[in-house]
Amino acid sequence: MAPSSASTTTQAPELRKTIRLNGKGGGDVQDKPSELQRDPVEVTYRDFFWTYTEEPHRTRRLAIIKAHPEVTKLCGPEPLTKYVVLAVVSIQVLCAYVLRDTPFFSVPFWLLAYVVGATANQNLFLAIHEISHNLAFRSPTANRLFAIVANLPIGIPYSASFRPYHLTHHKSLGVDGLDTDLPTALEAIFLDSILGKAFFCTFQIFFYAVRPMCVYRVPFTWVSAANVVGQFAFDLVILRTLGTQAMLYLLLSSFLAGSLHPLAGHFIAEHYVYETVTPAQADPSNRLPVPETYSYYGPLNFLTYNVGLHNEHHDFPAVPWTRLHRLNKIANEFYADLPYHRSWTYVIWRFIFDENVGIRCRVKRKEGGRFVGQKADWKQSEIEA
């Protein structure tokens, strides 16, 4: 059976957004019985989707392991990752060299930065994401140090701090105050409009960089220090040998990679709620049956370490990018009916212009989860049975 598409919802207009009755209390349909009787009326959401259920990935992971125990053999490092990273780092250095004498405000400079640079640096963002799960080497230390190498063309040191924030996102999906992938209440107040969402999509790289530090701080370790020293040493070498234009190319590539770029659609596609729930689907026990993770199975996965297979990744974070399609094939009955996206570009377009999708369209939890520090072995932290 083919999965249903989140981009092509076909529910009747009078049934849409019924889970968004007042928004508070997890969108409990029992709180507003009279609202459900007025079929033509749509009630606009006013809050995030609050739920009291456990995040779905651990439950599905246990069910998949029970049904297909062989999937655990897919876990472990992928040797190919380090070669891809080194190739992309080399491409970026080469492009910086080519543009060393090209004016910043010129078509060739921005065209190369958008087409090649942004694609390459988005690939490196996701390489760091992959390495944060210890999937390039078996040694955790080797992974931490190699993430610093992948960080170099990005221009700003962040790989060391990304790891604990991201692993906490996995262990605390949707938990308010722990999952820094969630928009803050302040963002929801000021950015939940067409102009606000357009601003968010254009500058989302800054939101993802600054927001985690505003929520909580992670420890500054020797890895953090190595990340800072290594990055600034690389930047200095670029400035001294290739000049300012080369450095600006790398920084612009990072900005565009997290802006209005097709690959940047994955940031929004992964966890923003694009599905709607009808009264018949709504759970009368004050629980919110809203999909909170979406996959994408299109060709752009080739450039992004298959990050589009995001339900599969959250179910099994220890399965590397080269084996996620195999996981989907083995456990297809668990994924076939889940909503998914057909286009990351359309995800961005709809996020900005569709009033039914916005900053508040995220599932949140008040409790659960845990903070993950920087000392975790992939065999212990990524496989739960």
Does the pLDDT at position 34 exceed 60? no
Query: Tokens standing for 331?
Result: 């456990």
Query: Tokens standing for 272?
Result: 């923003």
Written as one letter, the residue type at 229 is V
Q: For 109-122, b where at least 16 C-beta lie within 10 A, e where not — what string? A: bbebbbebbbbbbb
Task: Identify which has the larger pLDDT, 33 or 129.
Answer: 129
Q: How far is CA 347 from CA 17, 60, 103, 342, in A?
A: 18, 25, 33, 8
Q: Using only C-alpha atoms, what is the Rg of the chain?
A: 21
Q: Which of 13-27, 53-67, 173-187 has the lowest mean pLDDT?
A: 13-27
Q: How confident is the model over 247-297, as pLDDT tens digits?
A: 999 999 999 999 999 999 999 999 999 875 433 344 444 344 578 999 999
Q: How confident is the model over 141-185, as pLDDT tens digits?
A: 999 999 999 999 999 999 999 999 999 999 999 999 999 999 998
Give residue 42's pLDDT.
Answer: 34
Percent of the chain with pLDDT over 90: 75
Does the pLDDT at position 352 exceed 80? yes
* pTM exceeds 0.95, yes or no: no
Evaluate whether 320 touches 126 at the Cβ level (below 8 Å).
no
Does the pLDDT at position 46 exceed 80? no
Strand segments (E) across the chain: 49-50, 295-296, 340-341, 363-364
Give residue 342's pLDDT.
Answer: 95
Evaluate whether 204 touches 256 at the Cβ level (below 8 Å).
no
Q: Band of the pLDDT at 28, cuts 50, 70, 90? A: very low
Task: Please give the mean pLDDT across all residues of the chain.
Answer: 85
Q: Band of the pLDDT at 376, cuts 50, 70, 90? A: very low
Q: Band of the pLDDT at 54, cuts 50, 70, 90? A: confident
Give residue 367's pLDDT.
Answer: 80
Q: Could you give the CA distance from residue 207 to residue 12 in angstroms, rounded to a whole number?
A: 35
Beta-bridge partner residues of 296 = 341
Q: Band of the pLDDT at 45, cuts 50, 70, 90? A: very low
Place of tokens 């589009």: 308
Q: How confident is the model over 213-227, as pLDDT tens digits?
A: 999 999 999 999 999
Give residue 4's pLDDT.
Answer: 46
**245 Cβ neighbours under 8 A, 6+ residues apart:** 99, 100, 101, 102, 103, 104, 109
Q: Which of 2-11, 89-98, 181-190, 286-295 has the lowest mean pLDDT?
A: 2-11
Give residue 225's pLDDT.
Answer: 98
Classify residue 32 by its DSSP letter: -
Q: For 178-210, b where at least 16 C-beta lie within 10 A, e where not — what string? A: bbbbbbbeebbeebbeeebbbebbbebbebbee
Does the pLDDT at position 33 exceed 60? no
Beta-bridge partner residues of 364 = 50
Q: Name the H helices within 343-385.
A: 344-353, 378-381
Q: Taking Cα atoms as reference points, which of 313, 309, 341, 368 lies closest to residue 166? A: 313
Written as one letter, the residue type at 128 is I
Q: Taking Cα atoms as reference points, which of 263, 326, 259 lies closest to residue 124? A: 263
Query: Tokens standing for 359?
Result: 């900053």
Measured in whole angstroms, the distance separating CA 14 from the mean position of its chain's CA atoms is 32
Q: Could you give the CA distance from residue 199 to residue 190 in angstroms, rounded to a whole number?
A: 10
Helix (H), strand (E) at residue 36: helix 33-37
Give residue 52's pLDDT.
Answer: 83
Give residue 373's pLDDT.
Answer: 64
DSSP for 284-316, written as a single string: TTTB-------EE-SGGGGGTTTTT-HHHHHH-
Strand, coil or helix: what is 49?
A: strand
Neighbours of 286 (CB within 10 A): 17
Beta-bridge partner residues of 49 = 363
Give residue 137's pLDDT.
Answer: 97
Give residue 276's pLDDT.
Answer: 53
* Residue range 2-31: mean pLDDT, rounded: 35
159-171 and 140-151 are packed helices; what angle lies between their axes, rounded to 10 degrees? 120
Evaluate whether 365 touches 156 at the Cβ level (below 8 Å).
no
Q: How confident is the model over 315-338, as pLDDT tens digits?
A: 999 999 999 999 999 999 999 999
Q: Taking Cα atoms as reference points, which of 262, 285, 247, 156 lies closest to residue 210? A: 156
